[in-house]
């Protein structure tokens, strides 16, 4: 009996897939490395709340690591490091490989835009002696989560004379914050009986920006005038200058350790900075790879990748075409041999909302980087589906390098769905699969990730680049 049991146990070990808690799979040393890596990540989160700020951070890091701006008239050697910025909102970082583009390129692509409240083109108004901003939300948000959260104003105002003014209010100690109001429970009988999509609409997301008049003249709209005067004094802008601005409201708080054991990080914008930072660090650390490695921090993913800085734009393919031409290659031949990790998050299993998930095919906090074979919705609509062969190649790579990893689908089959940039890369006839960090409360103002998973995602991208 005893012997039979042990045989079964042995066979189980051989045949069953066993994805244990990450702490049971790695050394204490590795866990410490993960914590240290995440200190850098938290700094990035606090400095890069918008795509423009993430690009600025990435370019600074790249320059400090020997990257120079790409010049297509120059000849590059293996180990050379170049970057290209697209309209301040997306950046590509390439490390030239020994074989250049001849055997395809290795792509790591993460996005640096996150759900938020953009200001409308004509945002400022006064009502009942209060000044407010009208907003237009960007990306998929649950609107009820945004009222009563301290918000900061980030972005740029482009002036007619060609100058561009950086705006950031609410991040420095002592800065004021802005906020969307909500109705008190005492008077919310009607609101609370409504379905959520009716109770909180886009037109409810008005940001309170002021309440005192400019002076004691009995002029109309004196509170609005006061706010415009403050903006004029600080930035030299007038109301019409809002028309040529990219201004957005993001949560004003900083990234924080979560849990009494400090095992997690809570922050705005983990999706997808939690993959962008590991991809950027992997790009900094890779030396002279076999094939050229290209890391892309892209914009516009949260709204479907449309626009000249999103992955439906030709900007990445055009860059690869330039690199290919230098090697005497055609873009299509490079693409056909290229491989990509689409570095994006997946929804971590949440025991409080267990019914939204299918436990056998969900990803979990602390089990490592999650490989998502396909996303989409319904009958696998709107998704690429990584081939069995490419999945085998990636899991072999990760196992060989002792990277913590797991797989996951996005929730229950008919529970909803979502997508990443993977399908656009697949449409260029490259091999691609999603790999990234499991997230709790995804798209909320304060999202949660595990430190082990962030570090595992860095390691996955690094070995993919260096292999």
User: Can you give the binding site for Mn ion, defined by CB under 5 A?
Assistant: 271-272, 344
In the complex, minimum distance from the CB of residue 306 to Mn ion, in angstroms, rounded to a whole number: 15
State which residue, 263 or 372, has the beta carbon closest to Mn ion.
372
- Nearest approach in angstroms of CB 91 to Mn ion is 17
Q: For residue 224, what are the contacts with CB-CB under 8 A and spacing of at least 6?
A: 124, 125, 126, 131, 210
Give exposure, 114-151, as e/b (b: 16+ Cβ within 10 Å).
bbbbbbeeebbbbeeeebbbbbebbbebebebbbebeb
Task: Return the structure tokens found at 368.
Answer: 């490592």
86 versus 375: smaller Cβ distance to Mn ion:
375
Distance CA 430, CA 297 (A): 18
**Smallest gap from residue 139 Cβ to Mn ion (A):** 6
- The token pair that represents 159 in the structure block: 């002036």
Q: What residues contact 194, with CB distance under 8 A and at least 6 apart?
A: none
Nearer to Mn ion, 272 or 409 (CB): 272
> In whole angstroms, how close is the CB of 196 to Mn ion at the nearest point?
19
Residue nearest Mn ion (C-beta atom): 272
**Toward Mn ion, which CB reaches closer, 149 or 343?**
343
Output the CA torsion sign for 349, 351, 354, 356: negative
In the complex, least distance from residue 446 CB atom to Mn ion, rounded to whole angstroms? 15
**Beta strand 346-347 with 90-95: parallel, antiparallel or unpaired?**
unpaired
**Encoding tokens for residue 19?**
């994805």
Cβ-contact 267, 446 below 8 angstroms: yes
- Residue among 299 and 344 whose Cβ is closer to Mn ion: 344
Decide: 439 and 345 in contact? Cβ < 8 Å. yes
Phi-psi region of 119 (alpha: psi -120 to 50; beta: other; left: phi over 0): beta
The encoded tokens of residue 370 equal 């999650």
Q: How far is the CB of 111 from Mn ion (least distance, A)?
A: 6
CB 81 within 8 A of CB 314: no
Judge contact between 295 and 406, C-beta under 8 A.
Answer: no
Give the pair of three-digit tokens for residue 252.
């004003």
Task: For the CB of residue 305, give the shortest distance to Mn ion in the complex, in Å.
Answer: 11
Supply the minimum distance, in Å, between the C-beta of residue 113 and Mn ion. 9
Tokens of 205: 């997301």
> Nearer to Mn ion by C-beta: 118 or 272?
272
Nearer to Mn ion, 81 or 443 (CB): 443
To Mn ion, the closest distance from the beta carbon of 447 in angstroms equals 10
The residue among 80 and 113 lying less far from Mn ion, judged by its C-beta, is: 113
Question: How would you list the strands of the sheet with 405-407, edge to edge?
Answer: 68-69, 81-86, 90-95, 293-298, 106-111, 339-343, 431-436, 369-372, 405-407
CA distance 120 to 137: 9
Q: Which two three-digit tokens encode residue 81?
A: 């490091």
- Residue closer to Mn ion, measured from CB, 97 or 418: 418
Look at residues 164, 332, 346, 338 and name the one whose alpha carbon lies nearest to residue 241.
164
Q: DSSP class of residue 354?
A: G
Phi and psi at residue 349, to the nearest 5°: -55, 130
Specify the residue, 51 or 80, whose C-beta has the smaller distance to Mn ion: 51
Closest separation in Å from C-beta 341 to Mn ion: 13
In whole angstroms, the minimum distance from the beta carbon of 391 to Mn ion comes to 20
Closest to Mn ion by CB, 246 vs 272, is 272
């Amino acid at each position: 009996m005893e012997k039979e049991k042990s045989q079964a146990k042995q066979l189980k070990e051989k045949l069953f897939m066993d994805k244990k808690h990450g702490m049971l799979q790695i050394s204490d040393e590795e866990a410490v490395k993960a914590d240290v890596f995440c200190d850098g990540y938290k700094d990035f989160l606090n400095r890069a709340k918008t795509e423009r700020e993430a690009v600025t951070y990435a370019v600074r890091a790249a320059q400090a690591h020997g990257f120079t701006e790409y010049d297509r008239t120059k000849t590059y050697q293996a180990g050379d490091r170049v970057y290209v910025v697209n309209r301040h909102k997306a950046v590509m970082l390439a490390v030239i490989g020994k074989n250049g583009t001849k055997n395809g390129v290795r792509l790591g692509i993460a996005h640096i835009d996150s759900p938020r409240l953009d200001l409308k083109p004509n945002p400022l108004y006064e009502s009942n002696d209060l000044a407010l901003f009208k907003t237009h939300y960007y990306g998929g948000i649950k609107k009820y989560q945004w009222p009563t959260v301290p918000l900061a104003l980030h972005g740029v105002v482009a002036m007619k004379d060609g100058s561009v003014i950086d705006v950031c209010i609410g991040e420095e100690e002592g800065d004021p914050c802005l906020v969307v109001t909500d109705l008190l429970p005492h008077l919310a009988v009607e609101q609370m009986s409504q379905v959520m999509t009716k109770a909180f609409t886009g037109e409810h997301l008005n940001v309170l920006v002021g309440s005192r008049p400019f002076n004691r003249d009995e002029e109309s709209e004196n509170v609005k005038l006061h706010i415009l005067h403050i903006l004029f004094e600080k930035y030299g802008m007038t109301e019409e200058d809002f028309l040529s601005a990219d201004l957005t409201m993001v949560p004003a708080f900083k990234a924080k350790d979560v849990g009494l054991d400090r095992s997690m990080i809570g922050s705005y914008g983990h999706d997808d900075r939690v993959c962008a930072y590991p991809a950027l660090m992997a790009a900094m650390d890779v030396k002279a790879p076999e094939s050229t490695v290209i890391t892309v921090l892209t914009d516009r993913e949260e709204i479907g990748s449309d626009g000249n800085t999103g992955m439906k734009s030709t900007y990445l393919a055009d860059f690869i075409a330039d690199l290919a031409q230098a090697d005497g290659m055609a873009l299509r031949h490079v693409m056909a041999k290229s491989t990509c990790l689409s570095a994006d998050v997946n929804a971590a299993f949440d025991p409080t909302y267990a019914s939204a998930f299918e436990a056998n095919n969900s990803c979990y906090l602390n089990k490592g980087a999650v490989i998502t074979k396909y996303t989409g919705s319904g009958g696998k609509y709107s998704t690429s589906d990584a081939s069995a062969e490419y999945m085998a190649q990636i899991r072999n790579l990760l196992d060989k390098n002792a990277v913590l990893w797991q797989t996951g689908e996005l929730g229950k089959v008919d529970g909803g769905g979502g997508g990443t940039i993977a399908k656009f890369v697949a449409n260029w006839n490259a091999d691609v699969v999603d790999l990234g960090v499991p997230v709790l409360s995804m798209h909320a103002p304060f999202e949660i990730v595990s430190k082990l998973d962030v570090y595992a995602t860095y390691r996955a991208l690094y070995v993919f680049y260096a292999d």
